[in-house]
């Protein structure tokens, strides 16, 4: 029997609740589909940081390397550990170490879920560059705390980085409805973003079957609200993709529905799957976290592992659970009630 080893990193706040919900669904669908899944849980989190002075052990990356995939909850407990420490110490370290350069986030309304827009039919796949650009971490401060203080934060765009994320976007568009929106701000940022547009045009010549349009990020943001049904695949830099996908989460009914995958496309290193949301400290002890985003992320993990049928079963179960006939109420119903509805729908 085929079997997969999964690293679970529940981390902080609502992370443990939503990861256990997703694991229950994964275990059930694996049993139904005839493949094995085994979980190894890692306690890496802000609590771990408080005890050990670091978010994960020094050999954490080596430990994760042999796993088939990683399922992460959410990282951050800002009351005790600064976000810049927790984010860089765990999430960003893993994304960079395993070259998970494609951050993939689907945005569509599930049956029975009300979004804030008039449009109810849209199906957008957002591809965000995940390893460089505006979040490269290059920069510094001098004369700190004085009137002469200078702060520099430099975006880094490499040909390798830009070309591979655009190529990933073209490939996804080819598999879907054949339309790609490439996002820049090349009217204002005349070096990096003009370069991004150039590489987009170079690749467009190779992908004659994909209709590509270059948008400025502000215009694309407006389009996501006014005409989301006109969009298929969006490809954007780290910062633009980060912001656009939070908007995508909003139009699909909220962060509790927004799934994501950090893909290492050459498959020699593990990819990581996680909800878009954070640790939600405001509801962390209330058992009302919506687990759908994490369960959807787990379905993306199954698809990445090659278990497409099982992934489709999970997505169908989610849709049955959110549809009006079962009538779960994310945001109001307990995490356990929503999870039970998805598990029941798997039958």
Ligand X SMILES: NC(=O)c1ccc[n+]([C@@H]2O[C@H](COP(=O)([O-])OP(=O)(O)OC[C@H]3O[C@@H](n4cnc5c(N)ncnc54)[C@H](O)[C@@H]3O)[C@@H](O)[C@H]2O)c1
- 6 or 258: whose CB is closer to ligand X? 258
Strands 271-275 and 150-156 come out as: unpaired
Q: CA angle at residue 232 from 309 to 221, to 5 degrees?
A: 130
Q: Is 241 in the site for ligand X (CB under 6 A)?
A: no
- The Cα 32–Cα 29 span in angstroms is 5
DSSP 182: E
Residue 246 a catalytic site member: yes
Q: Is 319 in the site for ligand X (CB under 6 A)?
A: no
Active-site option among 48, 49, 135, 215: 135
Instruction: Choose the binding region for ligand X from 72-80, 188-196, 221-229, 237-245 (rule: CB under 6 A).
Output: 72-80
Closest CA to 248 of 92, 117, 112: 117
Alpha helices (runs of H) in the chain, residue ranges in sequence order = 15-33, 46-52, 60-65, 83-86, 92-97, 159-175, 192-206, 217-226, 238-251, 292-305, 308-322, 335-346
Name the minimum Å distance from CB 15 to ligand X. 7
Of the candidates 24, 75, 180, 343, which one interacts with ligand X according to CB under 6 A? 75
Residue 242 a catalytic site member: yes
Q: Is 210 in the site for ligand X (CB under 6 A)?
A: no
Instruction: Report helix, strand and coil shares of the chain as percent, to nearest 5.
Output: 45, 20, 35
CA atoms within 13 A on the CB side of 182: 26
* Contacting ligand X within 89-108 (CB under 6 A): 91
- The Cα 267–Cα 139 span in angstroms is 31
Q: Is 259 in the site for ligand X (CB under 6 A)?
A: no
- The Cα 307–Cα 294 span in angstroms is 17
Name the minimum Å distance from CB 254 to ligand X. 7
Q: Which helix (H) or strand (E) is 106 found in, with range?
A: strand 102-108
* Contacting ligand X within 132-151 (CB under 6 A): none
Q: Is 47 in the site for ligand X (CB under 6 A)?
A: no
Of the candidates 256, 296, 299, 303, which one interacts with ligand X according to CB under 6 A? 256
* Contacting ligand X within 265-304 (CB under 6 A): 274, 277-283, 289-290, 293
Q: Is 78 in the site for ligand X (CB under 6 A)?
A: yes
Residue 312 a catalytic site member: no
Active-site residues, by number, are: 135, 185, 218, 242, 246
Q: Name the residues that contact ligand X, by CB under 6 A.
A: 14, 74-76, 78, 83, 87, 91, 255-256, 274, 277-283, 289-290, 293, 331
């Amino acid at each position: 029997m085929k079997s997969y080893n999964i690293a679970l990193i529940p981390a902080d706040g609502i992370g443990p609740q939503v990861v256990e919900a997703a694991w229950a669904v994964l275990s059930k669908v694996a049993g139904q589909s005839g493949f094995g899944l085994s979980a190894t849980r890692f306690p890496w989190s802000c609590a771990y940081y408080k005890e050990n002075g670091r978010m994960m052990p020094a050999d954490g990356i080596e430990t994760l390397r042999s796993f088939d995939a990683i399922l992460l909850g959410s990282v951050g407990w800002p009351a005790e550990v600064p976000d810049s420490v927790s984010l860089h110490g765990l999430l960003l370290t893993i994304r960079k170490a395993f070259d998970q350069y494609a951050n993939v986030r689907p945005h569509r309304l599930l049956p029975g879920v009300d979004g804030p827009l008039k449009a109810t039919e849209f199906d957008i796949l957002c591809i965000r560059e995940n390893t460089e650009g505006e979040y490269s971490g290059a920069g510094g401060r001098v004369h700190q705390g004085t009137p002469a203080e200078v702060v520099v934060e430099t975006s880094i765009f490499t040909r390798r980085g830009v070309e591979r994320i655009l190529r990933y976007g073209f490939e996804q568009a080819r598999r879907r409805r054949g339309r790609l929106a490439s996002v820049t701000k090349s009217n204002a940022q005349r070096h990096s973003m003009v370069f991004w547009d150039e590489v987009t045009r170079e690749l467009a010549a190779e992908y004659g079957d994909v209709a590509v349009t270059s948008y400025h990020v502000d215009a694309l943001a407006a389009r996501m609200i006014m005409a989301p049904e006109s969009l298929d695949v969006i490809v954007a830099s780290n910062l633009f993709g980060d912001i656009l996908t939070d908007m995508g989460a909003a139009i699909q009914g909220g962060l509790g529905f927004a799934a994501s995958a950090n893909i290492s496309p050459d498959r020699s290193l593990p990819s990581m799957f996680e909800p878009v949301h954070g640790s939600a400290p405001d509801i962390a002890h209330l058992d009302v976290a919506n687990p759908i985003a994490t369960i959807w992320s787990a379905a993306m993990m199954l698809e990445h592992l090659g278990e497409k049928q099982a992934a489709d079963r999970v997505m169908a179960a989610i849709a049955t659970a959110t549809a009006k006939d079962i009538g779960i109420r994310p945001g109001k119903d307990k995490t356990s009630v929503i999870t039970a509805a998805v598990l029941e729908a798997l039958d």
